[in-house]
Chain A
Amino acid sequence: MSFAGHYAYAITIFLMVAGLYIVIARGNLIKKLVGLGIFQTSVYLLYVAPGKLIGGTAPILAPGYAVYSNPLPHVLILTAIVVGVATLALGLAIVVRIREAYDTIEEDEILAADRAEDARPQA
């Protein structure tokens, strides 16, 4: 259980926590999405790293090769990457619309605008 043997997990957890922190702590909508991206990416590592064996090859039967890496996690993560790209694209599209509607992408300014709208008597 040495640290060196588990450094992939350490990096995964660091990225995971850092990403989540950015999502929570930042008020800028774009920065939040960046944090979300880092958070999602850390999970790719969680899947892919244990699937790779040092010296392992693709699981194709051939003379001279006995150690194979598991290809399934890579395939799963390929799907997850597509999902991540779609999420980021949609998130950015919504931010563009928010920028058009509110003229800002700072969360506190948007909330202030919403509160001002609530305080105004109904038009």
Chain B
Amino acid sequence: MTTEHLPVLQVVVPLMSAPLIVLVRRHGAAWAIATVVSWAAFAMAVGIAIEVAQSGPLSYAIGSWPPPWGIEYRADALTAFVLVLVSFVGAVAMPYAKVSIAAELPEEQEYLFYAMYCLCLTGLLGITITGDVFNLFVFMEISSLSSYVLIALGRRRRALQAAYQYLVMGTIGATFYVIGVGLLYLMTGTLNMADMAVRLGEVTEVRPLIAALAFITVGVGLKLALFPLHQWLPDAYTFAPSVVTAFLAATATKVAVYVLIRFYFTVFGATPLMSEVPVNEVLMVLSVIAIVSMSLVALFQDDLKRMLAYSSVAQIGYIMLGLSLANPSGLTAAVAHLFNHGITKGALFLLVGILALRCGTTRLSDLSGIASRMPLTAFGVVLAGLSLIGVPGTAGFITKWYLVRASLEQGSWWLAVVVVASSLIAVGYVWRFVEAAYLGAPGPDTPRAGEAPLWMMVPAGLLVVACLYFGIETSFNVGYVTEAVASLMRKGGG
């Protein structure tokens, strides 16, 4: 049966396609391979999700070496959920890339973009599915190194500077993570997550474990742009090619959050460490600062891409807030927001990419009256913007609802106030687009451009529709998540 090998094929197929693309070199063929592979990855992720829902967690021993000696690939409900998110955005972005990348890169460099894209997809899927902490580091570096290249492909020279900053910060983050893993390995003698969780229960010397927890939290925090470790993110998102921004914003930071959830609940869950060390309190304070301050910073940006980048840091704050509440509703909000924010921000960045391509600018002051020239694109931005705010009937609302509920369950009504108040700030920055696009009169400077080609409109539209669809039909982004959260909480024994 091929379903038996799905967990490893999920990673190997995109991995193998990267060298294949470099060998083929022709840009049309490279695009075709990358598209087929990314849709195949999506199909496999859905296959894994169905398999997990029917018959429980999957375990795959690489090279038939049984865990904990060999590397184990392990898929439970949470893994499957993140796999579907990453591969869905990865697949949707590919048709868009055809026109977008052709416009932004010289033709002879296009195949390198597609090769890097497949490697980045490999890394992100690998991080998600592996059950081995060191293997996770290797995949983290595969995805990071390829994303540095993807960002450096941006047209302006500042993309290079942004990529360099990200490289330095990202490498420090990954190295911190390895230090943490090293300490855990010294204490337990194992690298398999499940095995490590069992053995950590027997460790009596807690000081190295606290150090390991701190190193892993800070290291992964750099990757997920946890406030105040987010400085690399705005520049990287602003200057990267449009399709890269959309893909990374929707997936890379989300996968890093997933790693943190894995460590907090699967690895450290059985130890009393999480309740003895004030991790959740620290994360809560940081995420509240992130939500409020970054929303305010977003409000005052003139560049639409940069505004959305700061909004991303704020939105990651919501995810971390849900995680730090550490009750089932909070965790449901955090995990559901991985998906909800992923598709919302993916849609927004794809649409902004269309504006960038047709108008040559993403500055709000230059986009005055653009709604009369590109009505569909502008309307799409407004719809996805509503999801970003969290208006009922959109995906964003689902998360806000659970987040408010979790805060009240915890007895922290002021957190609920923060969530609602920050949504009002989000209304402010989405309104700034509406004001420019709909109320501003098209001046002589307004680009004359019409709508973009269908290759770009359809993927962006698909994600916008997904924002609305998952706001109403919630069996996947709430039903499936509730199940995932329940199994996490059970394992954590609390």
Contacts and interface: CB of A to CB of B under 8 A. Distances in A.
Interface in B126-144: 134, 137-138, 141
B25 interface: no
Main secondary structure of the interface of A (DSSP, over half): helix
A2 interface: no
B363 A122 contact: yes
Contacts of B178: 43, 80
B436 to A, nearest CB: 15
A114 interface: yes
Interface residues on B, range: 20 to 34
A110 B161 contact: yes
Contact of B160 (A80, A87, A94, A117): A94
Interface centre among B138, B141, B164, B178 (most CB of A within 10 A): B164
Contacts of B167: 87, 90-91, 94
Contacts of A36: 168, 171-172
Contacts of B363: 122
A6 interface: no
B152 interface: yes
14 contacts: A36-B171, A36-B172, A39-B172, A43-B182, A83-B137, A83-B174, A86-B145, A90-B148, A97-B152, A98-B160, A101-B157, A117-B158, A122-B363, A122-B366
Nearest to A99: B160
A90 B179 contact: no
Given A23-B168, A46-B182, A87-B167, 17 more contacts: A16-B179, A23-B172, A32-B168, A36-B171, A43-B175, A79-B134, A83-B137, A86-B145, A87-B141, A87-B171, A91-B168, A97-B152, A98-B157, A98-B160, A98-B161, A117-B158, A122-B366
A97 to B, nearest CB: 5
A20 B157 CA distance: 27
A47 B183 CA distance: 9
A76 B189 CA distance: 13
A110 B50 CA distance: 51
A50 interface: yes
B149 interface: yes
Interface string A26-61: 000100110010011001001100100000000000
B103 interface: no
Interface string B48-61: 00000000000000
A43 B186 CA distance: 13
B80 interface: no
Contacts of A110: 161
In the A-B complex, the 5 residue pairs with the smallest Cβ-Cβ separation, listed nearest first, are A101-B157, A83-B141, A98-B160, A46-B182, A94-B164
Given A39-B172, A46-B182, A110-B161, A87 B145 contact: yes
B157 A94 contact: no
Nearest to B363: A122
A45 to B, nearest CB: 10
Contacts of B186: 50
Contacts of A97: 152, 160
Contacts of A102: 157, 161
A8 interface: no
Contacts of B160: 94, 97-98, 101
Interface in A71-123: 73, 76, 79-80, 83, 86-87, 90-91, 94-95, 97-98, 101-102, 110, 114, 117, 122
Contacts of A33: 168
A90 B145 contact: yes
Contacts of B163: 94
Contacts of A46: 179, 182
Contacts of B161: 98, 102, 110, 114
A23 B170 CA distance: 13
Contacts of A79: 134, 138
A40 B179 contact: no
Contacts of A32: 168
Nearest to B138: A79
Contacts of B149: 90
B157 A40 contact: no
Contacts of B366: 122
B134 A39 contact: no
A32 B161 CA distance: 13
Contacts of B179: 16, 43, 46
Nearest to A36: B171
Nearest to A76: B134
A40 B366 CA distance: 45
Contacts of A80: 137, 178
Interface in B99-139: 134, 137-138
A58 B388 CA distance: 57
A20 B172 contact: yes
Nearest to A89: B145
A86 B261 CA distance: 28
A94 B150 CA distance: 12
A102 B156 CA distance: 11
B164 A98 contact: yes
A20 B176 CA distance: 11
A98 B178 CA distance: 29
B171 A86 contact: no
A114 B158 contact: yes
A40 B171 contact: yes
A50 B185 CA distance: 11
Nearest to B366: A122
B196 to A, nearest CB: 14
Contacts of B134: 76, 79
